[in-house]
Amino acid sequence: MTELKKWQLGLLQAGGILMAVSLIAPFFYPSSIWPYLFLLGTLLFGCIQMLQRYNGKNVVIRRLRRIQIFSNLAFILSGLSMVLPLHNIYYGHRNEWLIFFSIGAILQLYTSFRIPTELEKEK
C-alpha cells in the first residue's frame, strides 16, 4: 500500500475525528450544523483513504481495498441521508443514515484489521 503524506494523514485523521465528534455532540449541544460537519468528515475521510493504492498482485488485498472503498461510499451515503431531510429533499424517517453508517463502520473495522495482516503475510 502506498504511504500517505503527512498532510494527507492529517486530513484523514481530521475527517475521522470530525465524524466521531459530530455523531456524539448532538446529544450535548443540539444544533442543525452537526449533519453538515458529519458529511464533511465523511468526505475528507473517504477521499483521502481512496488515495491509497495497492500495486501488488495479492488478490485478497485487492478485494479488501474494494470493500474499503464500498465502506467509504456507505459513509458518504450516511452523511447525505442526514443532510437531505434538512432541506426537505428526501422523505424518510430521518434515521436511515444509521443503516449506511453501520454497514460502513463494520466493513471499515474488518478491513482495518485484515489489510495489515495480509501485508505482513505478503512480506
pLDDT tens sequence across 83-109:
888 888 877 677 889 999 999 999 999
* pLDDT of res. 44: 95
Tens-digit pLDDT profile for residues 8-27: 999 999 999 999 999 999 99
Per-residue confidence band for 79, with pLDDT thresholds at 50, 70 and 90: very high
* Residue ranges per structural domain of the chain: 6-122
| Nine cell digits for residue 104 | 460502513
The residue assigned the cell 466493513 is 107
Tens-digit pLDDT profile for residues 28-76: 998 889 999 999 999 999 999 998 888 888 999 999 999 999 999 999 9
* pLDDT of res. 87: 83
Contacts of residues 28-35 at CB distance under 8 Å and 24 or more positions apart, as own/partner, are: 32/86, 35/79, 35/82, 35/83, 35/86
